[in-house]
Structure 1
Amino acid sequence: MRKIYLLFTALILVSQISTAQQKTTKTKVSSSEGVKRPKIVVGLIVDQMRWDYLYRYYSRYSNGGFKRLINEGFSAENTLIPYTPTITACGHSSIYTGSTPAINGIVGNDWYDRKLKRDMYCAEDTTVTTVGSTSRAGVMSPKNMLTTTITDELRLATNFKSKVIGISLKDRGSILPAGHAANAAYWFDSQSGNWITSTYYMKQLPTWVQDYNKQKPADQFFAKNWNTLYPIESYTQSTADNKIYERKTRGEETPTFPHPLKLYIGKNYEIIKSTPYGNTMTLDLAKLAIASEQMGQNNTTDFLAVSCSATDYVGHQYGPNSIEAEDTYLRLDKDLEDFFNYLDSKFGKGNYLFFLSADHGAAHVAGFMTENKLPGGTFSEGPVLKKINTLIAENFKVKNAIESSANGQLYFNREAIKSAKADFDAIKSLAIDILRTQDEVFDAVDLSKLAVTTLPEQLKKSLTYGYNYGRSGDVYYVLKSNYFSGSSTGTTHGAWAPYDAHIPCVFMGWNVKPGKTNKQHYMTDIAATLAAMLHIQMPSGCIGEPITELTHQ
């Protein structure tokens, strides 16, 4: 009996030791796996997508595109851009840095460089050369961006094992989101019709990009022409097809459907950007990048930063109320459905994290506003600047005192003013007084004295977040609601107002439960939210806060 008891006791002890070892082993395995992250993060910026486009065409969207995103994803419905000017390069860089132009330094697509005495392009880099064509369209890099991006921080967090790739028709839409440490960034060269990059990333294009270029994808899309996806009479959310405030394409008699794209096969590749096929081509290349680079197939999280730019070109040419704009979004919806199906098949639902946002919105076309008895119009800057320069020369003996203007800002020749021993504050005051007399101008301010202006606090903050001492101008003029500098055809953007600053912000997939919030959030919160979800550091200039309604679910 005693022997049986001792044997039974021994068995219990062995069992306890075994269980303890199993627990220890399990803890070690969990520890060695580290934090849980998705296989891949896919960021999609839809250029010039006003927030209301999520719902304006909702009844016409398919179940698998925008509707799926809204119904399966989490939408921060009241997401705003916190700075002005609301311009493409600023938007892409601010989403991915979690900062604003004041900090990341991207104050516009272009700005005046006082040292070089010329305009500086946001992605310009004369130390690199084009890869993939003989044009200068590849003389680009992210070096002008002063902070890291969320894509950079993912690379840092994984000791550069994560793969990061940027893709967009626009160089700035690809380069700035991909960040400084990206493996690659690709953009479209209108001169050759090729997708290209620069020596900042590589010495030659990968075989898969070369093979894609050999197919001449733009010509294949040109061959289809552009007619409406559905019967044209069904486009009841849009104006009539032929409007004088829509700009026709070269070679066309009117800005109307069908658009004869076959005219441009083998030439004029810039025109593909102003058609919905530009988005299709972009997402085709994105899928090819995932497959060819085996993104999301390793133990580390990869990041694909995509920007669909055709929406912006179409908006600039035809305006947000055109049949062309509606058709572009209906076709993008189909492209999104196809893209989501591809991600599902490649990674499985719930294994990838997807988010969609926009770099800015758009104003209604001035002619459309006038036609419907609404306030709005265009502003011609040239004659006003000429008047200011003339009066400064007469009163302060400084010729051509305004060196340049960009993004609603005047850059004064500080050296000439100093040499003439003129009163710089008085010169700026004169310019401000003249600008304030213009019917289209809401107000004008000295950017070095924003703290003491009488502007509404929200507008003051927008100007402050957009102001970088080394790159911004001296005087900023704010136009009245729905007024903009530009031509009488098509639209543009750049204002602090909701039509330009209210953007979509929707997350879907990995660790995202369906839902919505109407709490006010900002463009800068996207990078902070991604950092929280991925358990990595925020970008070096990030001022955003995580969208806790999403991260605390």
Structure 2
Amino acid sequence: MTKALSLRAIVLAAASLALSSCYAATPAPSTASTLPKLVVVLVVDGLPNEQVQRYRDQFGQGGLRRMLDQGASFSNAHQAHGVTVTAIGHSAVLTGAYPYVHGIIGNNWIDPITKKSVYCTEDTNYTYIGEETKPADGTSPAKLKVNTLGDELRYATGSKSKVITVSGKDRGAILLAGKTGTAYMYMEKTGNFASSTYYMKQHPEWATKYLATKPQDRYYGKSWSALLPEAAYAGDAPEELNAPKAGGHNRLPYSYYSESGEIDAGYYASLRVGPYLDQLTLDFARAAVEGENLGRNPAGVPDLLGVSLSAHDYVNHAFGPESKLSHDHLQRVDRMLAEFFTYLDKRVGMDNVLVVLTADHGFPNTPEFSQTQHFDAQRLDGDKLMAALDKHLEAKFGVAKLVQAWSLPNIHLDYALADQNKLKREDVENVAAQYLLAQNGIVDAFTRTQFESGAVQGTHINTLMRRAWNRQSSGDLMVITKPYWYFGTGTSGTSHGSPYAYDTNVPLMIMGKRWIKPGAYGQYAEVVDIAPTLANLLHLRPPAGSEGRVLTETLR
């Protein structure tokens, strides 16, 4: 009996030792003290990843290079929907959702009931605080149909966490802030940053004091000059490819003034093109960090700061991503971010900060530049195309004005008119689609019937277009231009909005040494992966419409 007990004791002791070793090898679960104190989400409006890769050797040490070297950087990350514009891209970042769910299908779209154009963040129930407000100005997230990561954070902490966003565009701030955050946006007429009465009745004291210093006035009469030696820009497109803007502003140095000779609305609007708008945005973000004491809550109560830098989009629209101005502007963004990270390190400590950087969309080259590369590239006049489509439908069915409204790539047909004339809706759709497919510059067209029946399948681009189509708000037809073509007029500049890689491939970087494994990642990733990844790190449930994946390969 004694020997049996001894043997049993040995076996139990061995099992206990093995079990304790097993548990010892398992990492301890993270606690509130291991959560970041501050999450910073940076969106550089209109930044194709191609520019980050092309100019990376010229970056300084503390900004984009710091994120590339110390963070996880994805080279194959995409805004994975077919209509790549600012509002949709910003909505994707912290909802983790696609347009067919979150409801933001463009910067503007056609209201399905009134058939009038609506703006993505307009809401006449609210006004800007202390600023003129027009009916179509962006004042609330009412049209965003789902919540954001910031909303989940506020819910989980009983609203103890603060969510503050700032942008040069109202949609850039509002769609990052979600339903319960607070958004501040640049006012073109005054150069102030203002919130709206959706968020509060009046600005907090810190914001009022900051705005009283009028920091936007310090750039009047100043110029934006090249940051790097001239040889650094040798590979950029010739400046003569850019048609001169008013006042000859198509090259560096680029001056900031007004026609009146006074600091006025014309001057404040001019600040959008170039580095000073982004500098003002980051300066206001610093004021918000201090005024709201961001990153200084008790353990387990992180804050979230969203910053959308809008000026790169304006520069690329005007001059193209191949231009010297775009090249130099990105270098200046890099240096501004370096200064901002240095500030955060002193204020909060970068060991306590998790930083994400991405973009809302990429950019194609200007048609003029693409043509020098032997690409078939053009601007396509959408209004003329729609007028011709309407005439074709009238000739086919004997009914005028079957094309009711459009906000391309969405086209709305007058179904009621078709019904009155005993026309089958599907027949009208198909005739319209076949006509569009025959037009130069159009590569594909989809109908409502195809979307609703699930017929839009198969290719990657079809998937992107299906995600971009919202049953309640989108058109009865959606069209895709040929590669390097886009809807627009004029003789200079470029635009975005397509499902092609130059518009979808954007930077996606995550930095935070306590949570993220640094490295260059070649895996396919999407911007909608940001929200579930942050939710995982912050111990939150993902936002309601989130369909992205947790980027587990980057996590420590």
- Specify if TM > 0.5: yes
Q: What amino acid sits opposite 1:84 in the alignment? A: G
Q: In 2, are the aligned partners of 1:80 and 1:523 still within 8 Å (CA)?
A: yes
Look up the match of 1:223.
221
Q: In 2, are the aligned partners of 1:126 and 1:139 still within 8 Å (CA)?
A: no
Q: In 2, are the aligned partners of 1:365 and 1:489 still within 8 Å (CA)?
A: yes
Q: What is the CA–CA distance in structure 2 between the aligned matches of 1:31 and 1:356, rounded to whole Å? A: 27
Q: What is the CA–CA distance in structure 1 between the aligned matches of 2:319 and 2:35, rounded to whole Å? A: 42
Where 1:320 maps in the other structure, the secondary structure is coil
Deviation track 1:355-393 (CA, whole Å, cap 9, x = no partner) reads: 100100001110101122223222122222112211222
Alignment of 1:228-243 (within 5 A): 228-243=226-241
Q: 1:355 to 1:374 in 2, by over 3 A?
A: same
Q: What is the CA–CA distance in structure 2 between the aligned matches of 1:87 and 1:438, rounded to whole Å? A: 24
Where 2:195 maps in the other structure, the secondary structure is strand
Whether 2:465 is the aligned partner of 1:468: answer no
Over the aligned positions, Cα root-mean-square deviation in angstroms equals 1.9
Q: In 2, are the aligned partners of 1:105 and 1:144 still within 8 Å (CA)?
A: yes
Q: 1:395 to 1:504 in 2, by over 3 A?
A: same
Look up the match of 1:527.
531
Q: What amino acid sits opposite 1:295 in the alignment? A: L
Q: 1:478 to 1:134 in 2, by over 3 A?
A: closer
Alignment of 1:149-164 (within 5 A): 149-164=148-163
Alignment of 1:120-519 (within 5 A): 120-136=118-134, 140-182=139-181, 184-243=182-241, 245-246=242-243, 248=245, 250=246, 252-263=247-258, 265-268=263-266, 269-299=268-298, 300-450=301-451, 456-487=458-489, 488-509=491-512, 510-519=514-523
Q: What is the CA–CA distance in structure 1 between the aligned matches of 2:420 and 2:318, rounded to whole Å? A: 44
Q: What is the CA–CA distance in structure 1 between the aligned matches of 2:332 and 2:138, rounded to whole Å? A: 32
Where 1:448 maps in the other structure, the secondary structure is helix
How far apart are 1:455 and its partner, in Å?
6.8
Q: 1:498 to 1:151 in 2, by over 3 A?
A: same
> Structure 2: where are the runs of 5+ without partners?
1-27
Where 1:516 maps in the other structure, the secondary structure is strand
Q: In 2, are the aligned partners of 1:350 and 1:511 still within 8 Å (CA)?
A: no
Q: In 2, are the aligned partners of 1:314 and 1:324 still within 8 Å (CA)?
A: yes
How far apart are 1:500 and its partner, in Å?
0.4
Deviation track 1:242-265 (CA, whole Å, cap 9, x = no partner) reads: 32x3451x3x13512222213363
Q: What is the CA–CA distance in structure 1 between the aligned matches of 2:295 and 2:311, rounded to whole Å? A: 27
Q: In 2, are the aligned partners of 1:142 and 1:179 still within 8 Å (CA)?
A: yes
Q: What amino acid sits opposite 1:544 in the alignment? A: G
Where 1:106 maps in the other structure, the secondary structure is coil
Q: What is the CA–CA distance in structure 2 between the aligned matches of 1:397 and 1:35, rounded to whole Å? A: 71
Q: What is the CA–CA distance in structure 2 between the aligned matches of 1:32 and 1:376, rounded to whole Å? A: 53
Q: 1:367 to 1:455 in 2, by over 3 A?
A: farther
Deviation track 1:490-530 (CA, whole Å, cap 9, x = no partner) reads: 11111111100011110012412211221111111110100
Identity within the alignment, %? 33
Q: In 2, are the aligned partners of 1:168 and 1:186 still within 8 Å (CA)?
A: yes
Q: What is the CA–CA distance in structure 2 between the aligned matches of 1:397 and 1:192, rounded to whole Å? A: 52
Deviation track 1:276-305 (CA, whole Å, cap 9, x = no partner) reads: 111111111111100111011111100001
Q: In 2, are the aligned partners of 1:44 and 1:306 still within 8 Å (CA)?
A: yes
How far apart are 1:418 and its partner, in Å?
1.8
Deviation track 1:300-348 (CA, whole Å, cap 9, x = no partner) reads: 1000011000000000001001111011111111101100101111111
How far apart are 1:38 and its partner, in Å?
0.5
Q: What amino acid sits opposite 2:117 in the alignment? A: D
Deviation track 1:416-438 (CA, whole Å, cap 9, x = no partner) reads: 22222222111111111111111
> Structure 1: where are the runs of 5+ without partners?
1-29
Q: What amino acid sits opposite 1:369 in the alignment? A: S
Q: What is the CA–CA distance in structure 1 between the aligned matches of 2:244 and 2:204, rounded to whole Å? A: 38
Q: What is the CA–CA distance in structure 2 between the aligned matches of 1:124 and 1:454, rounded to whole Å? A: 31
Where 1:198 maps in the other structure, the secondary structure is coil
Q: What is the CA–CA distance in structure 2 between the aligned matches of 1:73 and 1:41, rounded to whole Å? A: 14
How far apart are 1:32 and its partner, in Å?
13
Q: What amino acid sits opposite 1:524 in the alignment? A: V
Q: What is the CA–CA distance in structure 2 between the aligned matches of 1:430 and 1:195, rounded to whole Å? A: 49
Look up the match of 2:111.
113
29, 48, 51: which one pairs with 2:49? Answer: 51
Look up the match of 1:25.
none
Q: Does 394-403 or 283-292 show the bigger shift?
A: 394-403
Q: What amino acid sits opposite 1:536 in the alignment? A: L
Where 2:254 maps in the other structure, the secondary structure is coil
How far apart are 1:210 and its partner, in Å?
2.4
How far apart are 1:407 and its partner, in Å?
3.2
Where 1:174 maps in the other structure, the secondary structure is helix
How far apart are 1:233 and its partner, in Å?
4.5
How far apart are 1:34 and its partner, in Å?
4.2
Q: In 2, are the aligned partners of 1:37 and 1:534 still within 8 Å (CA)?
A: yes
Q: What is the CA–CA distance in structure 1 between the aligned matches of 2:312 and 2:340, rounded to whole Å? A: 17
Look up the match of 1:17.
none
Q: 1:151 to 1:247 in 2, by over 3 A?
A: farther
Q: Does 366-375 or 131-140 show the bigger shift?
A: 131-140
Look up the match of 1:10.
none
Where 2:165 maps in the other structure, the secondary structure is strand
Q: What is the CA–CA distance in structure 2 between the aligned matches of 1:322 and 1:310, rounded to whole Å? A: 15
Q: In 2, are the aligned partners of 1:226 and 1:259 still within 8 Å (CA)?
A: yes
Q: What is the CA–CA distance in structure 2 between the aligned matches of 1:318 and 1:255, rounded to whole Å? A: 7
21, 31, 40: which one pairs with 2:38? Answer: 40
Q: What amino acid sits opposite 2:505 in the alignment? A: H
Q: What is the CA–CA distance in structure 2 between the aligned matches of 1:89 and 1:139, rounded to whole Å? A: 11
Q: What is the CA–CA distance in structure 1 between the aligned matches of 2:421 and 2:194, rounded to whole Å? A: 48
Q: What amino acid sits opposite 1:348 in the alignment? A: G
Q: What amino acid sits opposite 1:512 in the alignment? A: I
Q: Does 408-417 or 358-367 show the bigger shift?
A: 408-417
How far apart are 1:76 and its partner, in Å?
2.1
Q: What is the CA–CA distance in structure 2 between the aligned matches of 1:86 and 1:357, rounded to whole Å? A: 14
Q: What amino acid sits opposite 1:153 in the alignment? A: E
Where 1:263 maps in the other structure, the secondary structure is coil
**How many correspondences in the alignment?**
519
538, 544, 550: which one pairs with 1:546? Answer: 550
How far apart are 1:456 and its partner, in Å?
4.9
Q: What amino acid sits opposite 2:523 in the alignment? A: K
Q: In 1, are the aligned partners of 2:87 and 2:120 still within 8 Å (CA)?
A: yes
Q: What amino acid sits opposite 1:235 in the alignment? A: Y
Q: What is the CA–CA distance in structure 1 between the aligned matches of 2:323 and 2:32, rounded to whole Å? A: 50
Q: What is the CA–CA distance in structure 2 between the aligned matches of 1:383 and 1:435, rounded to whole Å? A: 12
